[in-house]
Amino acid sequence: MRDLVPDGPAFDLDLGTADLGGGWATIRFRDVGSAGVCRLVLSARFVGPDGQTGLVALSEDAEGGDRFSWTGRLPDGLSALRLSPLSRETPFRLDGLIIRRRSPLALIALGLRRNPALAARAAYWRALGLKVRGRALLLRALNDRCETGYETWVARFDTLTDADRSRIRDEIAAWVDPPRISVVMPVHDPAPRILDAAIHSVRAQLYPNWDLCITDDASTDPAIPRLLARHAADDPRIRVRRRPENGHIARATNDALAEASGEFVAFLDHDDVLAEAALYHVAGTIRAAPDLVLIYSDEDKIDGRGRRFEPHFKSGFDRELLYGQNYINHLTVIRADAIRAAGGLRPGFEGSQDHDLLLRVTARLAPERIRHIPRVLYHWRAAGGSGTFSDRASERTEVARLRALAEVVAPTGATATRGPLGFNRLVRPVPELAPLVSVIIPTRDRADLLAVALDGLLSGTAYSALEILIVDNDSQDARTRALFARHAGDVRVRVLPVPGPFNFSALSNRGAADARGALLLFLNNDIEVIEPGWLREMVSIALTPDIGAVGAKLLYPDRTLQHGGIVLGIGGVAGHSHPGLPDGDPGYFARMVLTQEVSAVTGACMLVRTEVFAASGGFDAERLAVAFNDVDLCLRLRRQGYRNVWTPHACLIHHESKSRGPEDTPEKRARFESEVRVMQDRWGPELRADPYYNPNLSRDAARYRL
C-alpha cells in the first residue's frame, strides 16, 4: 500500500521498457482513501507517430469495495499510466495496481460470462446461420452494459465484508486525536422497536469516538423512558434527559445539543438508522479537512421490513438548490460552535427546522468549508406509524420553509414564493431602470427560424430593455435579405456582416465587441420564445455579483427536455441533464423544476454580465470554433470564483442545430474530435468530477441513473 501525494494535478506511473502499447489488457487498482468515492482517475500517456505526447482517458468501472478496473486496447506508444486525484486536499492511498495482458478471445469469453444477455444473442445469431464477427462481439462484450438496479448496487457497492470492517478498525486505531462526534436525537412517542433500532445503529458504529445525546420530549408511552434508561445503563456514551412537557422538535433538539460534548454534531431522527460506517466516513472527512463546518451524505429510505429503496445521490454544495429544497437533509453533521453561534434550532419553524438551520448556517459560509460525502450513510424510515415529527408538522412545513428563506434573502431585496410542487422559489429583484441586454444571434440564412426568434424577442418578451445584434455569417438567401430589410427601421435591431467560415466563438465574440448592453445574451437563431417572463428571470439572476453564466430550460418542439443544464464527463466531455424528459416531469428529486447551480450551461441561450464576459476572455475562437466553447467559458468562470446557474423559470423551445446541421462530414467530424481533445487536455480532472453530479450515477448519459 502506498500513500501518493501528487505535487501537481496527477501522478504518472512510468512503465519503463514494458511494451504494452497497442495490446488488449485489463488494469485493476484499489483506492482505499476514506474521504470519497472513486477518487482516482485513470489515463494513459502515449507518444504518437508525430513524436507528440498525448493523453487518453481510460474509463474505469467500479467493481465494489473501492476496487476499479479498465479493460480495452491500450494506445500505441504507451509510456505511462496517469492517476489523477479528484481532490488534491489529501493523499490518495493506492493498494495495488495490476496490468494483465488479454487476448481478444479471452476478453470475448469474459464479456459473455459477465453478460448472459449478450451470450444469448450470440447463440441466437448462430442459430439463424449469421456470422458473428469476433471484433464486433468483443466490442459488444466490453461496451454492452446495463444500468444497475438499487438492490444490486447495494449488494455490490454498499455491503461491508468482515475484511472491510477489520481494515476500517485498523485504520481508526492508527488515528491520532480522532474527532469526537455528538449524535443528537429528539424523541417523542416512536414505536419502541423502531427507536431501539435507531439507537442500536449508533451503538454499532465502527467509529467509537461518539456520544449519543437523547432528549425525550415528554413521551406518553411508558415504554420509551424504560428503553432509553436501559441503553444509557449499557453504554456510558449515551446521555438521556427528559423534558417535563412537550416542546416540539426544535426545543427538544436544542436540549440534546446542550448535552453534546463533541466538536461536531450529527442529527438523527428517532425512527431512522445510520449506516455502520457512517461516523467513520464523517470522521475521515474531518481529519482530511479540519476547517470544515458542514458535512452531509447521500441517503435512502427503508420500509417496515428494513428494505432499502429510493436512494438520493446528491450533488456537492449548491446554494441555489438549497434555497428551493432541503436537498442536504440526511446525514447532516455541523460544527457544534457554528450551531450555537446560529442560535440552534428555532421554535416556530417545526417541519422545516432543519432547512431553516441550514439556510442560516450556510448564508455566509464559504463553499470550501462544506463537504458532501457521496456515500449512503443514512436510512430514512418511510414506514407509516413511525411517529415522525415531520408527519405531524406537515401542515406548517411549507409556511415555515418560505419564512426561513424570506428571512435569509431579505437583505438582498429578494422574496420567497411558492414554487412548483410546493417547493420554494426565490424571486430576485430587477432595478426599476432595467439594464440593457444585448442579444447576440450568429446566423447564416434560415430566415424561417430567425424570423421566429426575432418575433419572440420583439413581441413575445416582457423585458423591453434589449438590443438585438444579428451577426450575419455570409447569408445568401433572398428571404434572409428580405427579413433584414423588414427590420432595418427598428432601432433595436442591428445586422453585423461577418464573412468567412462558420466559427460560433468568433461570431459571438464579434457581437459582444459591438454590444452596448450591461448584459450579453448569446442566443441561437433557432430559439422560439413561448412565455413573456423568461428574460426578466434570467436577468434577475445574472445581476447577482457572484453569478457568472445563467442558462434557461430549453425544450424540443415535441416538448421534451433538451437542456436542463450541462453535466461534465458525459460522453467523455459533457452532456445535457435529463435529456428527453417530458416537460411535466419534475426529474430526479425535482431537479428540473428547481433553480440550481451547474458546471455549465449551453451557449444556445446564455446570459452573462458584459464585464464578466470581457474579464474571462470570451469564447475560444482559435481552438473551440463550434463545439464545447460554452462549456469551456463556464469552466473558466467557475475557476474565477463565479457560480453558473440554470433556471426552469425561463423556458423556451430550441430547434437544435437546424441551421448548422449535424456533424455528418469528414471535415466536421475531424473538427469535433479535435475539440474533444482540446477539452480533455484542458479540463481533464474537471470533466471527470462534476461537483453537481454524484459519482455513483452513470456517465453514459445524465439521466441520474445508477
pLDDT along the chain (706 residues), means of 10: 46 65 74 52 68 66 66 77 59 68 65 50 45 48 58 89 94 96 97 96 98 96 96 97 94 96 97 97 96 97 89 97 96 97 94 96 96 97 54 69 96 95 95 97 94 97 97 94 94 95 96 98 97 98 98 95 95 91 92 97 98 97 95 97 98 74 70 89 91 91 88
Rounded to a whole number, what is the distance in angstroms from the first to the last CA of the chain? 30
Q: Could you name the CATH architecture of 162-387?
A: Alpha-Beta Complex (3.90)
- Find the helix or strand (DSSP H, E) in which 200 lies: helix 192-203
Query: What pLDDT score does 701 carry?
Result: 85
Q: Are 675 and 553 in contact (CB under 8 A)?
A: no
Query: What pLDDT score does 187 carry?
Result: 97
**What separation in angstroms does the CA of 49 have from each of 19, 54, 74, 492, 561?**
16, 11, 15, 54, 43
- Find the helix or strand (DSSP H, E) in which 101 lies: strand 92-101
Query: What pLDDT score does 667 carry?
Result: 79
Q: Which fold has domain 437-687?
A: Spore Coat Polysaccharide Biosynthesis Protein SpsA; Chain A (3.90.550)
* C-alpha cell of residue 390: 415531520
Q: What is the pLDDT of residues 113-163, one digit of tens each?
A: 555 444 444 444 444 444 444 545 445 444 444 456 888 889 888 999 999
Please calculate the CA angle 30-31-32 and round it to the nearest 5 degrees: 110
| DSSP string of 257-312, one letter each residue | HHT--SSEEEE--TT-EE-TTHHHHHHHHHHH-TT--EEEEEEEEE-TT--EEEEE
Peptide linkage before 331 cis (omega within 30 of 0): yes
On the 0-12 / 13-18 / 19+ scale of CB atoms within 10 A, 521 is buried
Domains 162-387 and 437-687 equal at CATH topology level: yes
Q: What is the pLDDT of residues 562-573, one digit of tens each?
A: 999 999 999 889
On the 0-12 / 13-18 / 19+ scale of CB atoms within 10 A, 392 is middle
E strand intervals along 453-559: 466-472, 493-497, 519-523, 527-529, 547-555
* Closest to 267 measured CA to CA, from 294, 239, 235: 294
Query: What pLDDT score does 54 carry?
Result: 66
CB atoms within 10 A of CB 480: 21
The residues spanned by each domain of the chain are 2-155, 162-387, 437-687
Four-residue CA torsion sign, 358, 359, 361, 363: positive
Please calculate the CA angle 434-435-440 and round it to the nearest 5 degrees: 125
Beta-carbon contacts of 602 under 8 Å, excluding residues fewer than 6 positions away, are: 551, 554, 563, 566, 576, 630
Query: What pLDDT score does 31 carry?
Result: 66
64 conformational bin, left if phi > 0, alpha if psi -120 to 50, beta if neither:
left
| DSSP string of 587-606, one letter each residue | -GGGGGGS-EEESB--TTEE
Question: Domain 2-155, CATH 2.40.128 — does that match?
Answer: no
